[in-house]
Amino acid sequence: MAYALIAVVLVAGWLFCLLDVLTSDEREVRLLPKSVWLLIALLGFVLGAVLWLLAGRPRGRSMESVLWPPGAQSDRHPDAPKGPDDDPAFLNALTRRIRGDN
């Protein structure tokens, strides 16, 4: 059971690094071109993934930017649909209706 858990963790880390290489901006990748890092991470498995994390990954990159690529985050789209509790006009109208101001 422990070996299976270790294998799952290693494969998950390797897949994370592969996705991280693929979603990284080529201009921000350090030391080597992005395509070379992809080959290193793909063929090097755990060693390649560790090398990517230590030497190639852009600095200051969070896991959120891997999971949700740029443009997918709602704070970058101010015109995105909002829930009624986030709309000031709706809240003001609701307050007026509750007070009976019509």
Which sequence spans correspond to the domains of the chain? Answer: 2-71
**pLDDT digit string (tens) for 40-54?**
988 988 899 888 888
First to last CA, the chain: 66
**pLDDT digit string (tens) for 33-88?**
888 988 998 898 889 988 888 888 877 655 555 555 555 554 555 666 677 777 88
**How big is the chain, counted in residues?**
102
- What pLDDT is recorded for position 74? 46
pTM score of the predicted model:
0.55
- What pLDDT is recorded for position 11? 92
Q: Which of 68, 31, 72 is nearest to 52 (CA)?
A: 31
